């Protein structure tokens, strides 16, 4: 078992990565908790035992479940079953589950402890780590949320054996961004899967420890996500989150090249990494550029004009007020 600490002072916790990690759940449930609310989805099929009285609550599948209505339903159900502020919520599933369970835990009784048991690669390396929780609005992704750190995260790699191939590849889209977040980890694809996941967790833990509340440094974790979130919000494309991120990474590299920040070799490296994971590298047909640019402006990083995380001579940086002409040229390269 690989243990990765997330150092946040009195809110510090550990992430356990490896086969059978869920068996540690009872040992990480906060002392004093008498009851657990286990939040999951019907198709997850990954049973856990928190070691105390518990009840399971299922939310709907897909991004549609990331809504204020779902959070209200959970909180009302918890109130009916007598869940107290001293108890615990356990999120078991992918990023949708951990985002929703974490946000509901953050607002119920103004804060109930939460432990995450992510069952997808996306959940293990991103959604369950770092305390960012939230739900979507029709106007954009993750526009309502809270920072609420978990008490522990258990990344049981046994759960990945049952993932459909496309879901597995989608997780690799999120993993691909870590190749560019830390120059020491550009060969992540050479590591065994559990070590690769732990390396990503370690990178994210370091970023979160230095910038818990998403200033400019933590925003680097959104590399590739400005376009990705716009594609998801547009909602007309048959693309999973990680597939959108993969396209967003290549787009960000092309945009950085247009802006004179990186050379062609670096763009090719982005395309190589994304291709290694058998992910898309081109925009879907018939995208509406004006619509995407409007959605760029609603991105939570967008303070002072359209904002992207872009690669450059000093690594990834937050770049504001990116000009429309540069964005259009990058779009042209993505559709050529």
pLDDT (tens digit per residue) in 224-260 = 999 999 999 888 888 999 999 999 999 999 999 999 9
Task: Give pLDDT, residue 27.
Answer: 97
For the question of residue 301 being annotated catalytic, the response is: no
Whether residue 222 lies in the annotated active site? yes
Give the active site residue among 229, 270, 300, 301: 229
Residues 283 and 142 in one domain: no
Quote helix, strand, coil % in the chain, to nearest 5: 50, 20, 35
Same domain (yes/no): 121, 12 = yes
Question: d(Cα 189, Cα 311) in Å, to the nearest integer?
Answer: 20
**241: annotated active-site residue:** yes
Domain assignment present for residue 192? The answer is no
Residues 144, 233 within the same domain: no
Q: Active site includes 261?
A: no
Tell the residue number behind the tokens 């048959």, with chain if given. 238
Counting Cα atoms < 13 Å in the Cβ hemisphere of 204 gives 27
Return the CATH number at 294: 1.20.1090.10
Tell me if residue 298 is catalytic.
no
In this model, does residue 79 exceed pLDDT 70? yes
Residue that finishes a domain, picked among 152, 169, 186: 169
pTM metric for this prediction:
0.88
Q: Is 236 a catalytic residue?
A: no
Catalytic one among 222, 254, 270, 300?
Answer: 222
Annotated catalytic residue 225: yes
How many structural domains does the chain have?
2
**pLDDT tops 60 at residue 302:** no
Contact present, 118 and 21 (Cβ < 8 Å)? no
Same domain, yes or no: 9 and 104: yes
Assigned domain for 292 exists: yes
Residues 47 and 160 in one domain: yes
Residue 264 has pLDDT above 80, yes or no: yes
Residue 103 shares a structural domain with residue 228: no
Q: Give yes or no: 314 in active site.
A: no
175 inside domain: no
Q: List, in order, residues 6 or more apart from 8 with CB less than 8 Å away.
A: 149, 208, 209, 212
Catalytic residue among 177, 179, 204, 300: 204
Catalytically annotated residue among 116, 179, 196, 218: 218
Domain closes at, from 134, 169, 204: 169
Position 221 in a domain: yes
Which residue range forms the structural domain that includes residue 260? 214-335
Phi-psi sector, 129: left (phi>0), alpha (psi -120 to 50), beta: beta
């Amino acid at each position: 078992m690989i243990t990765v600490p997330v150092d946040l002072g009195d809110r510090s916790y550990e992430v356990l990565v490896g086969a059978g990690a869920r068996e540690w759940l009872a040992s990480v449930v906060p002392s004093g908790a008498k009851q657990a609310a286990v939040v999951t989805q019907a198709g997850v099929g990954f049973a856990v035992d928190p070691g105390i009285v518990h009840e399971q609550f299922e939310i709907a599948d897909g991004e549609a479940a990331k809504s204020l209505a779902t959070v209200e339903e959970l909180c009302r159900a918890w109130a009916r079953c007598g869940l107290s502020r001293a108890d615990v919520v356990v999120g078991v599933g992918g990023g949708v589950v951990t985002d929703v369970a974490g946000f509901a835990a953050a607002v119920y009784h103004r804060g109930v402890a939460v432990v995450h048991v992510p069952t997808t690669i996306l959940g293990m390396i991103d959604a369950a780590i770092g305390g960012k929780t939230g739900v979507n609005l029709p106007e954009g992704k993750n526009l309502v949320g809270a920072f609420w750190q978990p008490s522990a995260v258990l990344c049981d790699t046994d759960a990945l054996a049952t993932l459909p191939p496309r879901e597995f590849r989608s997780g690799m889209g999120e993993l691909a961004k870590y190749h560019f977040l830390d120059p020491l980890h550009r060969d992540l694809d050479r590591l065994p899967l559990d070590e690769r996941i732990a390396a990503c967790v370690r990178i994210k833990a370091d970023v979160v420890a230095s910038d818990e509340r998403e200033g400019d440094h933590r925003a680097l974790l959104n590399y590739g996500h400005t376009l990705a979130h716009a594609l998801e919000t547009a909602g007309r494309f048959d693309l999973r989150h990680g597939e959108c991120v993969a396209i967003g990474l290549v787009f960000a590299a092309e945009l950085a090249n247009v802006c004179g920040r990186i050379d062609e070799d670096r763009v090719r490296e982005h395309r190589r990494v994304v291709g290694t994971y058998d992910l898309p590298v081109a925009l879907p047909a018939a995208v509406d550029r004006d619509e995407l640019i409007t959605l760029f402006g609603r991105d939570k990083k967008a303070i002072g004009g359209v904002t992207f995380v872009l690669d450059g001579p000093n690594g990834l940086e937050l770049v504001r007020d990116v000009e429309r002409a540069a964005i259009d040229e990058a779009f042209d390269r993505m559709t050529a």
